[in-house]
A and B are shown apart, each in its own frame.
Chain A
Amino acid sequence: MEIEKKLKILADSAKYDASCSSSGSKRTNHKDGFGNADVSGICHSWGADGRCISLLKILLSNACIYDCKYCVNRCSNSIPRATFTPREVAELTMNFYKRNYIEGLFLSSAVIKNPDYTMERLYETVLLLRQEYHFHGYIHVKTIPGCSKELIDKLGKLVDRTSINIELPSQTSLKLLAPQKEKAGIIAPMQYISQQIHTSSQEKSKWKEKFVPAGQTTQLMIGASPETDYTIMTLSESLYKKMHLKRVYYSAYVSINQDALLPALPQPPLLRENRLYQADWLLRFYGFTVDELLDQNHPNFNTLLDPKCDWALRHLEKFPVEVNTADYATLLRVPGIGVISAKRIITARREFHLNFENLKKLGIVLKRARYFITCDGKYFDKISSFQESFIEENLLYLERASTPASTYIQTSLFDTFLPTKEDKIKSLTGAF
Chain B
Amino acid sequence: MALSFSCNQKVYLYDGSFEGLLNIVFDCYVQKQIPSRIIEEKQYIPNLLDTVEIYHTDYTKADRIFHGILKSISYQTLYENYYAFLANVPEKEMSILLYLLNGFSIGPKINTMLSLDFVFQVHSLRKKMLSEAHKLKGLLRFKEVGDNLFYACIHPTHNVIENVGQHFVRRLPHQNFIIHDATDRGLLFLYNTHQYQIQSDKNFMVPTISEREKEYQQLWKTFFQTIAIEERKNPRLQMQFMPKKYWKDLVELS
Contacts and interface: CB of A to CB of B under 8 A. Distances in A.
Which one of B140, B168, B238, B250 has the greatest number of beta carbons of chain A within 10 Å? Answer: B238
Contacts of A314: none
Contact of A95 (B117, B174, B216): B216
B115 A358 contact: yes
A407 to B, nearest CB: 11
Given A11-B226, A48-B228, A50-B240, 6 more contacts: A7-B226, A11-B223, A98-B172, A100-B141, A348-B115, A363-B124
B55 interface: no
Contacts of A69: none
A11 B227 contact: yes
A16 B242 CA distance: 22
A24 interface: no
**Which 3 A-B pairs give the minimum distances between C-beta atoms?**
A50-B237, A47-B228, A49-B232
Nearest to B218: A4
B232 A268 contact: yes
Classify chain B: how many residues form its interface, as a range. Answer: 35 or more
A47 B216 contact: no
Contacts of B114: 344, 347-348, 351, 361-362
B142 A100 contact: yes
A252 B231 CA distance: 11
B251 A98 contact: no
Contact of A12 (B226, B233, B242): B226
Nearest to B234: A50
A351 B170 contact: no
Given A99-B141, A348-B114, A352-B115, A48 B238 contact: yes
Interface of A: 3-4, 7-8, 11-12, 14-16, 29, 32, 34-36, 38, 40, 42-54, 56-57, 92, 95-96, 98-101, 103, 252, 254, 267-268, 270, 344, 347-348, 350-352, 354, 358, 361-363, 404
Contact of A7 (B175, B223, B250): B223
Q: Which of A8, A35, A49, A358 gathers the greatest number of chain B CB atoms within 10 Å?
A: A49
Given A4-B222, A47-B227, A49-B228, A362 B120 contact: yes
8 contacts: A7-B219, A29-B173, A42-B137, A44-B139, A98-B175, A350-B112, A352-B115, A354-B115
B134 A42 contact: yes
A351 B109 CA distance: 9
B117 A36 contact: no
A99 B210 CA distance: 13
B138 interface: yes
- Give the residue among A45, A49, A252 with the most B Cβ atoms within 10 A: A45
Given A348-B114, A351-B112, A47 B171 contact: no
B223 A34 contact: no
Contact of A45 (B120, B168, B242): B242
Interface in B103-119: 109, 112-115, 117
B137 to A, nearest CB: 5
A34 B174 CA distance: 8
B48 interface: no
Contact of B235 (A8, A48, A99, A363): A48
Contacts of B120: 361-363
B141 A101 contact: yes
A15 B230 CA distance: 11
B220 A96 contact: yes
Contacts of B143: 99
B212 to A, nearest CB: 9
Interface string B127-150: 000000010011111111000001
